[in-house]
Structure 1
Amino acid sequence: MTTAEPETDTAAVEKELLAFLTERVGAEPALDQDLFAAGLVSSMFAMQLVVHLEDTYDVEIVGPELALDNFRSVRAMSALVQRLRQDGDPQ
């Protein structure tokens, strides 16, 4: 059985992240909403987001990429995934 790779275009990543966040926090945030300021995401939950992004999109988030600003909104996380996929995917 082969596992299909997740779609990684910006709209697909944003849609998947919205679904993940909605399931976990019980509310669907706006794409540009500051998740920390809105109280939807804590620093502990941000670590769950790191693991989710790494597992779902086969990226490694380390060093300066762990900055909270990369997890502040759905758009910021989607941009992080796109950047890491472009920079680190030799395929």
Structure 2
Amino acid sequence: MDSQEMKAAVRQFLARSLRGHTLGDDDDIFSLGLVHSLFTVQIILFIEKTFHVELEVSELKIEQISSVNKIVELVQQELKN
């Protein structure tokens, strides 16, 4: 899966989860006030299931999953490891 396909999958997940709010690839979903703390767990589960990567939650920083581009960046980094 290339980065454009990854971005499309992340956008689709966020649009569904955020009730259709349209976000730019660099929009910070947490600073926009559209999500709650439990949503962090949902994002992590989505990433692990969709991209088949295992994340160390204790080492994860909220900034790493705060936008479409950052999520894709994290996934690509994890796939290299």
Question: TM-score, normalized by length of structure 1?
Answer: 0.81
Over the aligned positions, Cα root-mean-square deviation in angstroms equals 1.0
The reply on whether 1:85 has 2:76 as its aligned counterpart is no
Q: Percent identity?
A: 28
> If you compute each CA radius of gyration, which structure gives the higher value, 1 or 2?
1
Extract unaligned runs of 5+ from structure 2.
Answer: none
The one-letter code matched in structure 1 to 2:5 is A
Which consecutive segments of 4 or more residues in structure 1 shift more than 6 A?
none
Question: TM-score, normalized by length of structure 2?
Answer: 0.90
The one-letter code matched in structure 2 to 1:41 is V
Cα distance in 2, alignment partners of residues 34 and 68 from structure 1? 10
The one-letter code matched in structure 1 to 2:24 is A
Extract unaligned runs of 5+ from structure 1.
Answer: 1-6
Counterpart for residue 8 of structure 2? 15
Helix, strand or coil at the partner of 1:41: coil
Cα distance in 2, alignment partners of residues 86 and 22 from structure 1? 27
Counterpart for residue 4 of structure 1? none
Aligned residues: 79
